[in-house]
């Protein structure tokens, strides 16, 4: 009897639900709101006051202030910006992920993908961290820590502590 009840319950769950008609944005829950009608890969700041996002894949990084709704482009001063992700650091600065130029989707997303540091100061230009990247990164919202993994034995490890970065302290630039 238990098997037949379980099978019946599974069949009921497998039945297709009726699809709602209309635009889902017209029926958002009361605690949801549309911030912009473009963009992708949003990242909420550690203080929950801003949302950084990509205007499009292989494009510019943007940020919107949740209190004032002011939106600004973080990388519009970079000719032909081709970034894929932007993430907040606890300092208010940003980590960008992407190639330095677009070759093609596969190569630019894999072989040429790397980490960049972008200061929170307006007009700052991204600085390469010299670390290749496959897909995304996990950035702590509470400290300058990020888990890392070597792809190859000769690949240097990016360390989020500015005292360990080679040749310069990027957090003060």
Mean pLDDT of 77-83: 86
- 93-111 per-position pLDDT tens digit: 999 999 887 877 777 777 7
Torsion angles phi and psi, residue 17, rounded to 5: -80, 155
Count Cβ atoms below 10 Å from residue 137 Cβ, excluding itself: 17
CA distance 86 to 96: 5
Domains of the chain: which residue ranges?
34-165
Average pLDDT over residues 127-143: 81
Reply yes or no on whether the pLDDT at 60 is more than 70: yes
How far is C-alpha 12 from the chain's CA centre? Answer: 38
pLDDT in tens, 39-48: 999 999 999 9
Name the CA dihedral angle for 84, 75, 35, 49, rounded to a multiple of 10 degrees. 100
Query: How many angstroms separate the CA atoms of 135 and 127, rounded?
Result: 19
How crowded is the C-beta side of 164, counted as CA atoms within 13 Å? 8
- Fold of the CATH domain 34-165: Neuraminidase (2.120.10)
Evaluate whether 64 touches 70 at the Cβ level (below 8 Å): yes
């Amino acid at each position: 009897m238990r098997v037949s009840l379980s099978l019946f319950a599974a069949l009921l769950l497998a039945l297709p639900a009726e699809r709602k008609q209309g635009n889902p944005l017209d029926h958002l829950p009361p605690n949801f709101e549309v911030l912009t009608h473009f963009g992708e890969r949003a990242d909420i700041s550690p203080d929950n006051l801003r949302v950084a996002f990509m205007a499009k894949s292989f494009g510019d990084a943007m940020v919107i202030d949740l209190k004032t709704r002011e939106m600004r482009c973080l990388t519009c001063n970079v000719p032909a910006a081709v970034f894929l992700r932007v993430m907040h650091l606890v300092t208010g600065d940003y980590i960008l992920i992407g190639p330095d130029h677009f070759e093609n989707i596969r190569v630019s997303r894999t072989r040429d993908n790397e980490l960049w540091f972008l200061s929170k100061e307006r007009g700052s230009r991204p600085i390469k961290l010299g670390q290749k990247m496959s897909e995304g990164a996990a950035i702590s919202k509470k400290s300058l820590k990020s888990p890392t993994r070597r792809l190859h034995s000769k690949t240097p490890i990016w360390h989020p502590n500015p005292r360990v970065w080679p040749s310069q302290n990027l957090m003060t630039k």
